[in-house]
Amino acid sequence: MSTVLDKNPAPQSESFTELLRQLATSSATVVQDEIELLKQEAKEKVRSILSGMVMAVIGIVLSLVALLSFSAALIFYLIPYLGVINAALATGGLFAVGGFIFILVGYSKLNSNA
């Protein structure tokens, strides 16, 4: 009949040392894998942000083209009533006032968050 006490303690300490070595190796591998995963997630997040920024810039450029088109249309509409110079000045003034209002609202929101 064999019991636990009959075993030689030397192989157990070697196997325990080997287990500790494997644990250290596995832990190092897990940490390295986690670091690589974090790097990959950061790269994906940067790509996503850059993609969003590119789309926003394209949208801004298209909006500016549309704004210029509407400005020209408004000027042409106002020419019979105000003349060429006054129609252009009225349209420019209208957009300047609108832009100034947006600047004030944005500035006040930035100051309220600070």
Dump the DSSP string for 18-42.
HHHHHHHHHHHHHHHHHHHHHHHHH
74 assigned to some structural domain: yes
Backbone angles phi, psi at 3, to 5 degrees: -125, 175
Residue 3: inside a domain, yes or no? no
Q: Which domain holds residue 45?
A: 14-113
Q: List, for residues 19-53, the tens digit of each pLDDT value.
A: 888 888 888 899 999 999 999 999 999 999 999 99
Band the pLDDT of 5: cuts 50, 70, 90: low
Q: For 69-106, what is each residue's pLDDT tens digit? A: 999 999 999 999 999 999 999 999 999 999 999 999 99
Q: In sequence order, what are the residues at sequence separation of 6 or more whose Cβ sits closer than 8 angstroms to the Cβ of residue 19? A: none
Query: Per the domain annotation, does 36 fall within a domain?
Result: yes
Q: What is the pLDDT of residue 3?
A: 52
What pLDDT is recorded for position 18? 86
Distance CA(101)–CA(105), nearest Å, equals: 6
Q: Provide the domain count of the chain.
A: 1
pLDDT attached to residue 7: 54
Residue 6 belongs to some domain of the structure: no
pLDDT at 10 over 60: no
Is there a domain that residue 34 lies in? Answer: yes
Task: Give a yes or no: residue 7 inside a domain.
Answer: no
Q: In the chain, where do the E strands start and end? A: none
Asked if the structure places residue 81 within a domain, the reply is yes
In a domain, 80, yes or no: yes
The pLDDT value given to residue 102? 93
